[in-house]
A and B are shown apart, each in its own frame.
Chain A
Amino acid sequence: MADGISGASGTGRGYLAETGLRSWAFSLDHKRIGVMYLYTTMFFFLVGGLFAELLRLKLMTPGPGFVSDKTYNVFFTLHGALMIFLFIIPAIPSALGNFFIPMMVGAHDVAFPRLNLAGYWIFLAGIVVVIASLVRPMDTGWTFYTPYSAKSGAAVTLLSFGLFLVGMSSILTGLNFIITIHTQRAPGMTWSRMPLFIWGMYATSVIQVLATPVIGMTFILLAAERLFGVGFFDPAKGGDPLLFQHFFWFYSHPVVYVMILPAMGIISEIIPVFSRKPIFGYKAIAYSSMAIALAGFLVWGHHMFVSGMSSVAAVIFSLLTFSVAVPTGVKVFNWIATLYRGSISFESPMLYALMFIFLFIIGGLTGPFLGSLGTNVQLHDTYFVVAHFHYTMMGGTVMGWLAGLHYWFPKMTGRMLSEKLARRAAVLILIGFNVTFFTMFILGYKGMPRRWAEYPVQYQTMHIIATVGSWVLAAGIIVMVWNFTRSLYRGEAAPGNPWGALTLEWQTASPPPVENFEVIPTVTEWPYSFGRKGAGDA
């Protein structure tokens, strides 16, 4: 794809050569900052997962079980809040985005390296505040709905402040990425030659910059409500509790796309490489990312259908909600069209990418049940919702994230993963995932409400099945973490380009040198021209 770079396959330590705490903590290298984000978010993935296992264990019995109902509230609040705010939102953009955006556009670093480091430290400061706020157990659920959150005895104000800081870091990261993509592209890399991961990250960054200030503001209002009793959300003082939900979802719905768009970008990278075919419909995939980002801002009301929102607004939001399905469908069809008659090889990144498509389709197709007003009233706040968003968020984003980690592990560490272990983990995760969450579709359809600590005994069998599934899932994650840890020290040395990919990050040594490229490459073709050399741009 590019001139001016040698087929590097170094076994040196690259950007990892320097050691010691200071070399990491004060590094301006986007790769090191990305790795720090990776470790931080992965830690919270494991902690959040631990809470999931605890609350599944509690739900094996319909009665009180091994913890009190109050403790159960704490479990699901922590599981949700940690997973959403400290893992799934920052995981792909901040960790993999930081590491790979500059490399994939052919730059030495992001546009503002110091701002990038500041973003990480603000993120960490936010985490410290969040953890400090948990001294008094948090029981509001991750959505902090008023009026309960305005009155709960938990340290909601402090938690809001912590999440405000995390949000600020998210804005800085998004801003940095937009400017990097606009100004740091290598010569010859036109907008229509950008890798699709970059397109996904661009759309993501736009959402981060535009939506995150709204949640920051909402947290300030909530804090003012708690500290000074202003009454923004209190009807007795002329406020409106639904206003909180409008503000909350104006951020939190678009943020669903902050979670999924980067994962879709990763899938768009992996599918053509492991099918050895040019990606089908490059421009359609690129523009659909932008379309999803914009449509994501129009649909927040579908979280509030049964909250007491006006029926006119409900109808408008229901109609708009269906519009998101169009660009999403475009992407899925294009991935499948890329696979068609491809020369497919099933290495671990591809396995996770295929799992993404399979699980995300199930998650996607159960969306319209919830977006339609009639069925929404039946299914609202049941396990059907829990199953739906775990299929999209975990089946989608987490699988995309894992696909990306397996795909880029050789580049980031200079070591290959054990394929055998990776496959075993993938099989366990796929089985465990479906046993856990498909069961929840049935549970929800039968009327099991979400968030209940105790439930009628007729649901117990399904709950036991789901809990056993969660053990299989956990086993898969453990095997995967073991594979990462082991390969970090004892994996085979990775060549510069083990998968034969054409994007720029593979055209330098593994692990990459500090400045990414000896000479900034000149791009002459788009990055998916497999099997048709010199065919030009799409």
Chain B
Amino acid sequence: MKEYRTYLIVWASLVVLTGLTMGVSYLRLGVGNAIVALAIASAKAALVGLYFMHLRRESALVRAFALAPLLFLALIIFGTLSDTLFRK
């Protein structure tokens, strides 16, 4: 029963965060809009990973393997940006 309560809380938090993303999009923050939206999205992804995908209870090795693709995603974004940002 306690299991389900945790899942329900996480689900509710995800809904709240989605609402927050929508709300923030009405504010005029300039570049800040993208940053806030990405931060909220990351928090949601972390919640899903930790609770629904049970990474919270996994060994350090499994967590490392789960995080590795994120590093590679960062790498491809960084590499591509190093090109597009400096193109004349």
Question: Footprint of B on A, CB under 8 Å?
Answer: 210-211, 214, 240, 242-243, 246-247, 250, 297-298, 300-301, 304, 308-313, 316-317
Contacts and interface: CB of A to CB of B under 8 A. Distances in A.
B68 interface: yes
Contacts of A210: 68-69, 72
Contacts of B84: 240, 242, 310
B86 A310 contact: yes
Contacts of B79: 246, 250, 298, 300-301, 313, 317
Contacts of A300: 79
Contacts of B82: 310, 312-313, 316
B75 interface: yes
20 contacts: A242-B84, A243-B80, A246-B76, A246-B79, A246-B80, A250-B76, A250-B79, A298-B75, A298-B79, A301-B83, A308-B87, A309-B87, A310-B82, A310-B83, A310-B84, A310-B85, A310-B86, A310-B87, A311-B86, A317-B79
Given A297-B72, A300-B79, 9 more contacts: A210-B68, A210-B69, A242-B84, A243-B80, A246-B80, A250-B79, A298-B79, A301-B79, A304-B83
6 nearest A-B residue pairs (beta carbon) = A310-B86, A312-B86, A313-B83, A310-B87, A313-B82, A246-B80
B88 interface: yes
A209 to B, nearest CB: 8
Nearest to B85: A310
Interface string B43-69: 000000000000000000000000011
Nearest to A313: B83
Chain A interface, >50% SS class? helix
B72 A309 contact: no
A113 to B, nearest CB: 22
Contacts of A308: 87
Nearest to A309: B83
Contacts of B69: 210
Contact of B83 (A211, A242, A298): A242
Interface residues of B, number: 14
Interface of B: 68-69, 72, 75-76, 79-80, 82-88
A301 B84 CA distance: 12
Contact of A297 (B75, B85, B87, B88): B75
Nearest to B76: A250
Nearest to A314: B83
Contacts of B86: 310-313
A337 B69 CA distance: 36
Nearest to B65: A178
Contacts of A309: 83, 87
B78 to A, nearest CB: 10
Contacts of A211: 72
Contacts of A317: 79
A289 to B, nearest CB: 17
Contacts of B80: 243, 246
A310 B87 CA distance: 4
Contacts of B75: 297-298
B24 to A, nearest CB: 25
A246 B80 CA distance: 7
A382 B85 CA distance: 29
A233 B69 CA distance: 24
B87 to A, nearest CB: 4
Nearest to B72: A210
A427 to B, nearest CB: 44
Nearest to A210: B72
A298 B72 CA distance: 10
Contacts of A316: 82
A495 to B, nearest CB: 40
Contacts of B88: 310
A450 B86 CA distance: 30
A313 B79 CA distance: 8
Nearest to A299: B79
A214 B69 CA distance: 11
**A211, A214, A312: residue with the most chain B Cβ atoms closer than 10 Å:** A312
A311 B85 CA distance: 11
Contacts of B72: 210-211, 297
Nearest to B83: A313
B59 to A, nearest CB: 11
A242 B82 CA distance: 13
A246 B68 contact: no
Contacts of B87: 308-310
A110 B82 CA distance: 41
Nearest to A300: B79
A298 B86 CA distance: 18
A419 to B, nearest CB: 45
Contacts of A243: 80
Contacts of A311: 86
A250 B79 CA distance: 9
B72 to A, nearest CB: 5
A371 to B, nearest CB: 16
A297 B87 CA distance: 22
A190 to B, nearest CB: 16
A298 B82 CA distance: 12
B76 to A, nearest CB: 5
A243 B80 CA distance: 8
Contacts of B68: 210
Nearest to A308: B87
A211 B79 CA distance: 14
A428 B76 CA distance: 43
A250 B68 CA distance: 16
Nearest to B81: A313
